[in-house]
Structure 1
Amino acid sequence: MKSTANTLPYETENLQKQLLDSQSTIVQLQEKIRWYEEQFRLLKQKRFGASSEKNPDQMQLFNEAESILDSLKPEEQGEQEETVSDTRKKPGRKALSPDIPREVVRYELPEAEQVCACGHALHEAGEDKSEQLEIIPATLKVIEHVQVKYACRACETGMTSAPKPAQPIPRSFASASLLAYIIVAKFMDSLPLYRQETIFKRLSIDLSRATLSNWMLKSAELLEPFYDRLHFYLIQQKRVQADETTLNVIQDDRETKSKSYMWLYQSGGHDNQRPVVLYDYQATRAGTHAANFLQGFSGHLQVDGYAGYHALASEHCILVGCMAHARRKFDEALKVLPKASRQNKHGLTQTALRKFARLYAIEKQIKALSTEQRYVIRQEKSKPLMLELKQWCEANVTKTAKEAAIGKAIRYTLNQWDYLVRYLEDGNLQIDNNAAERRIKPFVIGRKNWLFNQTPRGAKASALLYSLVQTAVANNLEPFAYIKYLLTELPKLGRHYEPEALDQFLPWVMTEKIPPLK
């Protein structure tokens, strides 16, 4: 029989091992609880909090950052007259636009009342003016095309009719203006076709959703060569931004819950004079779709951290990262902190956000400068700040858990670093991809209203029509007038024509024919 003295060391060793295992389990459970708490606070903020990414101390951070530029020489600062002021505009109603037609209604006293109580006649001593906005609901009219027929009484060989201009949809009563109205209502104002059906019904016009949908498909077919021409000019540019978002397409020969994607490509330079915005529907998020769409492109492609774009990286296609996505990770890390920790200005998250604020403050100050001036100032001012940010991330990466929000933010920034710093190489590059996100937002808003596309053909037509509307907006053209002009003039070219024939309709050459966007 073993003695008690001999078994004690073994029992002690087992107990110590169990204690270490328990402590390790406790630490893992505590980290998991912290992760769940972070996710709860983040979801709560997204559900009930403000969507803005502005930091409560943003004004202070930007004021601190703007002091970096105080030492710049006058020639480096350019002829900027813009000043940052904390004074708020006085509240008040904005004046009605002078471009709106006006009808003057004058109110005068009857002659019998233009006599004072003292018996003397009254004379005009001034006027009081006030304005009231009146609206005239949309009105419809029918254009009846009458083609006069001619015949010869002598030979009676046949009849000749006066030609009618080519129409956007042959044998349809839809005019270019009606089609443009429907397109802009859906693809700019996010008004689904079933709501437009109801609106037309109130105007005593019976237009079913099926008819409206068919008109959109026919319009897209007519405008497709022009979309391809815009695609040609986008590929020629040296700076392009890209982004993507989901949509649901019902009849795409896949499971109903399968996600499809709407990709967006647009001009990405600061000083671009020929902006193009193109949407492209694809069934998946595979990076090969972007590679196919941008085939032949040579320059800088600015995107977020999605790995699918990495397939495009080459000596001809240089990927540029998005600083806003890196900053957004830290902004989320701030939102998941408990309220007491959020108020600590010296915390890791708050420190990182101040570093990003300094970079953005410089961009705000140099926005109006030339490409060369932006490049010089970025090299002198932004580059050291970027190096400081990287060193800070490297110093703190081991102090944070991988699954923690702040840990994810730091690791994302370091993983994307080679792409994030590339905006310093070219003064015409943007610091982030926010411009592309703003362009894809109209589609996201519209998706909330119409929820899904019925078929891939409809999704492709939507992509094309969204492209033309947003390209018009990017070129400061009134979308309705521009789309109406295209639908009126393109049918006149006939079925067969060279792509160069479409150059006369490019948005940047139409500024004299199409009114500006107000």
Structure 2
Amino acid sequence: MDSPHVIDPAFAGMSFAEVCALALQQQAQIKHISAVNAKMAHEMAVLKRPKFAATSERFSPKQKSLLEEAIDEDLAALDREIGKLKHPAKEPREKQTPKRQALPAHLPRRDVHHEPESSTCATPGCGCQMRRIGEDVSEKLDYEPGRFSVERHVRGKWACAQCHTLVQAPVPACVIDKGIATAGLMAHVVVAKYIHHQPLYRQEGILGRAGFAVPRSTQAEWIGAIGVELDPLVQAMREDLLKRRVLHADETPAAMLKPAGMRDGKTHRAYLWSYCSTAWDDISAVVFDFAESRAGHNARRFLGIAEDGTGGWRGTLICDDYAGYKQVMNTGVTEAGCLAHARRKFHELWANHSSTLAEQALKLFGTLYDIEREAKDLTHDERLRIRQLKSRTAADLLHAWLIANRQKVPDGTTTAKAIDYSLKRWAALTRFIDDGNLAADNNRIKNLIRPITMTCS
């Protein structure tokens, strides 16, 4: 016997149409909650990926093992241990000479001679004087860490006995008057900090082990003095950049400590705005402009554009979709988008959720990048011809795919946002196809700014 149906009291007295309307409302709520959950799951995966997964954006089934170097070290150690064991006698084989790479000829050589203690023949009953008939030479690579030395500047005093005139050579110019460091030592500290990512406290220990510990406060003073002396060079580089028709631009956060008298003595987020020439310019220059905020007027100020939009640089700026750049776009600067930013949104979907749609998008983006690799080293006209011939077709195919799949994806999902980003900026993203001087993405400035971001992290 069938059990009687239990009707929820909430539906009592409701008509069929009202029940259907309520069902549709709840179905819409469920769809919205599902979209929100998918969005939160994607954001969590993106945040966890830098810590627990590989950060490379390469789209390849072959992933290089993070333990490859450790594995090679273990294998080498095992080979040495096995080599020490006694092996049973084997049939003699032809000796194979190992092919070791020759050491570079430009490296300085220091000979260490090894000769017998006596040149008299030690054979019993002989005692003849031996003569040298040749030698065997083997080369070993050596490295000597930095050593301190003292550079003594001796300025002779010359006097005239008759008129008592005193003549002496002037003191050589230096970065810090009466400072103890040579320009070479100060340059070493700057390169170690900003290129090799060695903080000053670590350099203090390294220099101490080399024979003379330079306090980090002294090193900081050196870096500040160098910054002041290099300012004219930076201004000259900025003036040269502003003569270029195409520039890359990006910004990255940097920690800034304000003195207690100026604010609260705490660390605040400032920004380094970066501008550089293209890969095809006759110079390779990058200028970092420090600003206390990420406001768009910082970019306008660097480009020399007045608040009313007059004057300043007018060219094509390759940048991301950050709203701060819109201030300069509104004054007549042409915007060129970054194809890597658009691709990255699909790569995150593929890496974090194994999205098949994202995989299709990555393949279409990959076609555009294959063409760019082909045209990278060509002349401007030839690069433009290749782009018009091949990139335009590949871009149109990608655009059609984005439009077709956007209609299948619910609003608010991460996939929809990835597609919308590319569609909204399509004109800027594909502007490089019609200009051989434009890069397809902003990776050039990203690579130049990376040493700074690693130093600040």
TM-score, length-normalised on structure 1? 0.70
Q: Is the helix fraction higher in 1 or 2?
A: 1
Q: Tell me how far apart the structure 1 counterparts of residues 454 and 103 of structure 2 sit (CA, whole Å).
A: 28
Give the C-alpha shift of residue 160 in structure 1.
3.6
Q: Does 1:387 align with 2:403?
A: no
The answer to whether the 8 A contact 1:42-1:335 is kept is no
Cα distance between partner residues in 2 of 1:189 and 1:281:
21
- 1:55 aligns to what? 59
| 1:41–1:335 contact (8 Å) kept in structure 2 | no
CA–CA distance in structure 2, aligned partners of residues 257 and 249 of structure 1: 5
Residues 424 and 150 of structure 1, relative CA distance in 2, 3 Å threshold = same
Distance 1:348-1:159 versus aligned 2 partners, 3 A rule? same
- CA apart distance, 1:218: 1.3
- The number of residues matched between the two structures is 397
After TM superposition, the structure 1 = structure 2 runs for residues 187-198 of structure 1, keeping only pairs within 5 Å, are: 187-198=194-205
C-alpha change, 1:11 and 1:257, in structure 2 (3 Å) is farther
1:237 matched to which residue of 2?
Answer: 244
Q: How far apart are the structure 2 equivalents of 1:413 and 1:254?
A: 41
- Corresponding letter in the other structure for 2:38: R
Show CA shifts across 1:34-73 (max 9, x none). 22322333333332111111112599xxxxxxxxxxxxxx
Counterpart position of 1:144 = 152
Which stretch shows the higher mean deviation, 43-52 or 281-290? 43-52
* Residue number among 103, 106, 115 corresponding to 2:110 in the alignment: 103
Partner in structure 2 of residue 298 of structure 1: 314
User: What is the alpha-carbon distance in structure 1 between the residues aligned to residue 168 and residue 136 of structure 2?
Assistant: 60
5+ residue gaps, structure 1, are 1-6, 60-91, 116-121, 449-518
Number of the residue aligned with 1:18: 22
Alpha-carbon separation, structure 1, partners of 2:52 and 2:198 = 26
Aligned pairs for 1:309-388 within 5 A:
309-313=325-329, 317-337=333-353, 341-342=354-355, 347-388=356-397
CA offset at residue 241 of structure 1? 0.5
Match for residue 443 of structure 2 among 402, 424, 434 = 434
Deviations 1:152-211 (A, max 9, x none): 44444x644322222221121221111111111112111111112222222342422211
> Does the CA-based 8 Å contact 1:266-1:276 persist in structure 2?
yes
1:308 to 324, 328, 343: 324
C-alpha contact 1:332 1:405 (8 A) present in aligned 2: no
The correspondence for 2:190, drawn from 169, 183, 186, is 183
Secondary structure at 2:361's aligned position in 1?
A: helix
Q: Structure 1 pair 58/380, CA: closer, same or farther in 2 (3 Å)?
A: farther
Three-state SS of the structure 2 residue aligned to 1:357 is: helix
Contact map agreement 2:402 2:419 (CA 8 A) in 1: yes
Match of 2:210 in 1: 203
Q: Give the deviation of 1:382 after TM superposition.
A: 0.5
Which residue matches 1:71?
A: none
* Residue 285 (structure 1) aligned to one of 265, 278, 294: 294
Q: Secondary structure at the match of 2:268?
A: coil
Matched position secondary structure for 1:146 = coil
1:224 and 1:368 map into 2 onto residues whose CA distance is 34
Preserved CA contact (<8 Å) 2:119 2:131: no
Instruction: Tell me, yes or no, if structure 1 residue 172 matches structure 2 residue 179.
Output: yes
Equivalent residue number for residue 63 of structure 1: none
* Structure ID, larger Rg: 2
- Verify the 8 A CA contact 1:259 1:284 in the aligned structure 2: yes
Q: What is the CA–CA distance in structure 1 between the aligned matches of 2:213 and 2:13, rounded to whole Å?
A: 93
- CA distance in structure 1 between the aligned counterparts of 2:14 and 2:168, rounded to whole angstroms: 111
1:107 and 1:8 map into 2 onto residues whose CA distance is: 106
Percent identity, aligned pairs only? 33
SS in 2 for 1:18: helix
Higher relative contact order by CA 8 Å / sep ≥ 6: 1 or 2? Answer: 1
CA deviation after TM superposition for structure 1 residue 103, in Å: 3.0
Give, as a single letter, the amino acid of the residue that structure 2 aligns with 1:47: K
1:82-135 per-position Cα deviation (integer Å, ceiling 9, x unaligned): xxxxxxxxxx976533321123446677767898xxxxxx99999876432112
Q: In the alignment, what sits opposite 2:272?
A: 262
Counterparts of residues 6-85 of structure 1 (less than 5 Å): 10-56=14-60
Compared with structure 1, are the counterparts of its residues 98 and 224 closer, same or farther at alpha carbon in structure 2 (3 Å cutoff)?
same
Q: What is the alpha-carbon distance in structure 2 between the residues aligned to residue 323 and residue 93 of structure 1? A: 44
Cα deviations across residues 403-459 of structure 1 (Å, max 9, x unaligned)?
A: 3222121011011112111111211221111011000000111112xxxxxxxxxxx
Could you tell me how far apart the structure 2 residues matched to 1:97 and 1:243 are? 40
Task: Give the CA deviation at 1:289.
Answer: 0.7
SS across alignment from 1:236: coil
Matched, 1:415 2:424: yes
Which stretches in structure 2 are left out of the alignment for 5+ residues? 1-10, 64-98, 124-129, 305-311
Corresponding residue for residue 78 of structure 1: none
- 2: CA distance between counterparts of 1:93 and 1:425? 50
* SS at structure 2 position matched to 1:259: strand
Report the CA distance shift for 1:254/1:244 in structure 2 as closer, same or farther (over 3 A).
farther
**Cα 1:399–1:132 shift into 2, 3 Å:** same
Distance 1:405 1:94 in 2: 52
Query: Cα distance, 1:260 vs. partner?
Result: 0.6
Once the two structures are superposed, residues 204-238 of structure 1 have per-residue CA deviations (whole angstroms, 9 ceiling, x without a partner) of 42422211111111121112111111111111112
CA shift for structure 1 position 311: 1.4
The alpha carbon displacement at 1:299 in A equals: 2.1
Query: Residue 254 of structure 1: CA displacement?
Result: 4.9
Q: Which amino acid aligns with 1:326?
A: A
Report Cα offsets for 1:252-304 as digits up to 9, x if no partner.
64563631101111101x42121111111100111111111122323221111
